[in-house]
Amino acid sequence: MRKKILITGASSGLGEGMARRFAAMGRDLALCARRTDRLDRLREELTAAHPGITVATRQLDVTDHDAVFAVFRSFAEELGGLDRVVVNAGIGKGRKVGTGGFQANRRTAETNFIGALAQAEAAMELFYARGAGHLVLISSLGALRGMPRSAAAYAATKAAVSSLAEGIRMDALRTPIRVSAILPGYIRSEMNPEDALLITSTEVGVRAMVRAIEREVATACVPAWPWRLLAPVYRHAPLRLLERVL
């Protein structure tokens, strides 16, 4: 059992939801995000509901790469090691390429991929030193194909995250370290607040994510229904069809 779990981007959305589920399972948590006020409220809630667990919090902007390494090491020292790191922090802001939105697209790329790379580096350093661990990178169903308009840069970053997970997994094949890429479909959160096509409730989506993480699968589209069935269709559908649907 992975007892000590670090989750980035834990102040809202899927990160907050995963923190609640892991807390209910009796896990000790290391939670970080940019918004410390929300983290503090979450810590109070979780420790009151589950008094047997430890919840540590830190402020972290994952685009501050030096801070990523410092915060991960600090959490490991405070909790006596980390068993699992969930690289979840990310943003979904972007603009159609070529329409003056480079700064928004750059911010998305820097946060979702370079930030994820820094987190993976920091986590794997700890795991290699310890000789064990589980690295989880939260990707997206959008990693399977390019996406149009404002989602183009976002989908590209998530494809990079999935590829990064596979490369790290190959490096760790002959070790006790496990690496998972989790690809959520449309799950209601701050990033997906509207009633998008086939959107899943936060509770159902987070439950599916945690279930896949606990199984330590190499990769998983979640929730399994309908995304495991639709993923191959999405991957191979003609662009003209996807452009109409997305």
Is 234 one of the catalytic residues? no
Q: Give the amino acid at 225.
A: W
In terms of phi and psi (left: phi > 0; alpha: psi -120 to 50; beta: otherwise), the region of 216 is: left
Phi, psi values for residue 49, rounded to 5°: -75, -30
User: Can you tell me which residue has the tokens 């490096």?
Assistant: 171
Phi, psi values for residue 6, rounded to 5°: -100, 135
Q: Give the amino acid at 78.
A: E
Which is the catalytic residue, given 128, 154, 186, 234? 154
CA dist 73 to 77, 78, 177, 184, 242, Å? 6, 9, 18, 28, 43
Number of other CB atoms surrounding residue 230 within 10 Å: 16
Q: What is the largest CA-CA distance in the chain?
A: 54
Question: Is it true that the peptide bond before 193 is cis, omega within 30 degrees of 0?
Answer: no
In whole angstroms, give the CA distance from residue 36 to residue 217.
31
Q: Which two tokens stand for residue 25?
A: 């399972």
Active-site residues, by number, are 154
